[in-house]
Structure 1
Amino acid sequence: MTSPTPGTAPAPGTSQTAPGSPSSTAPEVLWYIIPREGAYPWEPAGRRPVDLGYLQQLAGTVERLGYTGALLATDLYDVWPLGSALAASTSTRFKPLLAVHPGLIAPTLLAKMALSFDNLFGGRLRFNVVNGSTSALREYGLHVGHDERYELSAEYWSIVKRLTAGEVFDHKGRFYDLKDAGASFRDLRPVQEPHVPLWFGGSSEPGIEMAAEHVDVYLTWGEPPHLLKEKLDHVRARAAAHGRTLRIGLRLHLIVRDTEDEAWAAADRLLGVTSEETYARQLGGRAGEDGVGWQRQFRQHGGRVPARARELEEYPNLWPGMSLFRPGPGTAVVGSTAQVVERLREYQELGVDTFILSGNPLLEEAYRVAETVLPALGIRH
């Protein structure tokens, strides 16, 4: 019987304990960087002016505070020029996690871009595999249904992995027919082994199967621990069926204050400053979206905007209300420093060894979290 082998070696500072065991080492913690930044950037009034200098300041701050990098999400700016600009202004400690949709550009070209990035910036690139939604991908001329997106993704990233490992090969599959792939940049040698790491989150059966077979770090959104445990147990079982183990990462928003009451007051303020237009835009057309992760998240609030934020607290300190007004991951941990740390440790006990955290504004909250939460997790700058 083949014993499971890890997709990648654990990064420095990450937990290496068995899944479900309390962590004895500090987790890896990344921050979040997008150009729409401010106290409540989903509203024009809550958005601050952001330019290259500001984004580089934010990346430098994230690096100095002890985070190992940042997720650069698909937002106003394309992640490649943004990632290159931030990598050029930081050291090798700052590792950009670039969100990339498979299929929008040829896998051979993406691999060349990745190897170029790693050669220029010291082997820091990581891919966040984003499968998107059927409707969003139509804007780019990619017409694939839910399950077909994952079939495309599996083939696409298997090619990219081989190319970023330095292979030259022919490939004939359902979506791609390649001859001498990698030959034109065979002298552009890989920096990372065995390949540029893949991080990915997907909650549907096809998504979990794709993750189990191909990715290195499985990402998930915040949910009550008993629900998350069920999903992670299933993910691990599917990975084991492929002779693999995966690292587990969790994407969370934090609203941490000195006291619990202050934290929930801050969440109440976010509800109050959000316009009816934003609520309608975010909720009106998305209840039937085909992403299973979004559906799991939507069920936690049902599209209902509460009078007080805490009305949606179905598990201590977990608030799904961020998804009422912003796209993507919408669960926040709301509470005092001690409560937030307790929730994060609870997730660590489920085997989570990596956190991607955020708070608004990104710059100020990066400091707050680094000065309060990170030391309690064993991370110091």
Structure 2
Amino acid sequence: MSWFGALCDDDYEFLGQPDPSLQSSYEHCRDITLTADRAGYDNILLPSGYQLGIDTVAFASAVAPQVETMQLLTAVRMGEMWVPQLARQLATIDQMLDGRLTINIISSDIPGETLESAPRYQRTVEWMKVLRALLNRESVEMHGDFLDLELDPPRIGTVSGTCPPFYFGGFSDNAKQVAAEEADVFLTWPDTVASVGETIADMNGRAAEFDRTLAYGLRAHVIVRETEGAAVDAANRLVSKLDDEVGAGIKAKSLDTQSVGVSRQNELRANASSDGFAEENLWTGVGRARSGAGAAIVGDPDQVLAKLRAYQEVGVNAFILSGYPHIAECQLFAEHVLQRIDHAPLRHSLATV
């Protein structure tokens, strides 16, 4: 059970209404992270952006000594940093965390550069292979389209001596093939329970072609209150000051606005009922001002717990949740739901055969 650190300027009381006190900063994102750690979450996603927010790797290294039990799911964009140096940085952070680093692989365009899908994902595969080898303390010989190097691993390694789990998401065929070949945990965005189950079945088949298995994570928002009515009221309040043009502008700042996954989130919202619900307890209003995960699990504690269990039944192993404002919703979910769930962090050996 993971929370979300809003490093990418993604924190609001009213969606689309910037609040300087909630803007991404070291102090604010540190407070979100430490709140989640003290509340008993297993992990926290530290997202990566360029135009939005603060640097992920720098923040992870700063907050790592302050986190007592939680993992840090640190997002890194493949191709953005020279991979041998990235391996050293990540191994250093893992040591600071006493072995609790996890890695979110990002494959969107590097700022200032645009690549077609196929070469971009080819670059991602090459970076992932080399990064995994170096973090496994293995020598590298890679003569690819984007990397051409022969290199021994650096002296510093992770606490376990092995590569932390790679979390990876994407919905195009190219992205799914990369995940099947190189990821450990495949991340999907909020969707109907049946659709998430179909995605997992598809990915199981793709991974089997490489003699591998995957774990699965769901990245979603959550709004939980003591009653269903109060939760729906909180959802409606969140978007009560949102102008659709402002929301579209916020979405357009992301580097992944044209992706297959974002298109699916838009489709989910378009097909929702007039009150924004795509199915029971799955509300799509968040997607009016967010290019990525665009739906929230909304309801009372029993309903939210039942929804999580429904996703578990179709194969979800992990949840990365968020809510607005992030600190308040982190505490509410911990109070009402987290303490009722038997949970533990994913470990290095879980996914890869």
TM-score (norm 1): 0.82
**Distance change (3 Å), C-alpha of 1:193 and 1:220:** farther
Q: What's the CA shift for 1:52? A: 3.5
- What residue in structure 1 maps to residue 4 of structure 2? 32
* Other structure's SS at 2:121 match: helix
Distance in 1 of aligned mates of 2:211 and 2:252: 42
Distance in 1 of aligned mates of 2:308 and 2:252: 32
Whether the 8 Å CA contact 1:219–1:248 is kept in 2: the answer is: yes
1:122 equivalenced with 2:92 (yes/no)? no
Distance in 2 of aligned mates of 1:234 and 1:50: 36
Whether the 8 Å CA contact 2:75–2:104 is kept in 1: the answer is: yes
Give per-residue Cα distances to partners, 1:208-244, cap 9 Å, x unaligned: 1111111111110110011111111010111111111
- What residue in structure 2 maps to residue 87 of structure 1? 64
After TM superposition, the structure 1 = structure 2 runs for residues 1-381 of structure 1, keeping only pairs within 5 Å, are: 29-35=1-7, 36=9, 37-40=11-14, 42-45=16-19, 48=22, 51-75=25-49, 76-91=53-68, 93-132=69-108, 134=109, 137=110, 139-140=111-112, 142-182=113-153, 185=154, 187-282=155-250, 289-302=257-270, 311-378=275-342
Whichever residue aligns with residue 276 of structure 2, its letter is: L
Whichever residue aligns with residue 336 of structure 1, its letter is: D
Decide which structure has the larger Cα Rg and report it. 1
Gaps of 5+ in 1: 1-28
Whichever residue aligns with residue 192 of structure 2, its letter is: P
Give per-residue Cα distances to partners, 1:290-339, cap 9 Å, x unaligned: 3111111111123x9x9xx8622121011122111123211101111111
RMSD value, Cα: 2.4
Give per-residue Cα distances to partners, 1:158-177, cap 9 Å, x unaligned: 11000011112322111110
Whether the 8 Å CA contact 2:220–2:320 is kept in 1: the answer is: yes
* Other structure's SS at 2:219 match: strand
* Other structure's SS at 2:222 match: strand
* Other structure's SS at 1:44 match: coil
Whether the 8 Å CA contact 1:202–1:293 is kept in 2: the answer is: yes
Whether the 8 Å CA contact 1:43–1:275 is kept in 2: the answer is: no
Distance in 2 of aligned mates of 1:314 and 1:56: 34
TM-score (norm 2): 0.88
Whichever residue aligns with residue 107 of structure 2, its letter is: N
**Distance change (3 Å), C-alpha of 1:119 and 1:283:** closer
**Distance change (3 Å), C-alpha of 1:199 and 1:280:** closer
Whether the 8 Å CA contact 2:130–2:140 is kept in 1: the answer is: no
**Distance change (3 Å), C-alpha of 1:66 and 1:284:** closer
Whether the 8 Å CA contact 1:41–1:47 is kept in 2: the answer is: no
- What residue in structure 1 maps to residue 351 of structure 2? none
* Other structure's SS at 2:239 match: helix
Which stretch has the larger CA shift, 271-280 or 291-300? 271-280
Whether the 8 Å CA contact 1:31–1:71 is kept in 2: the answer is: yes
Give per-residue Cα distances to partners, 1:132-188, cap 9 Å, x unaligned: 2x5xx3x34x33112222111111101100001111232211111002243xx2x21
Q: What's the CA shift for 1:282? A: 4.2
Distance in 1 of aligned mates of 2:302 and 2:160: 37
* Other structure's SS at 1:74 match: coil
Percent of pairs with identical residues: 30
Gaps of 5+ in 2: 345-353
Distance in 2 of aligned mates of 1:175 and 1:298: 33
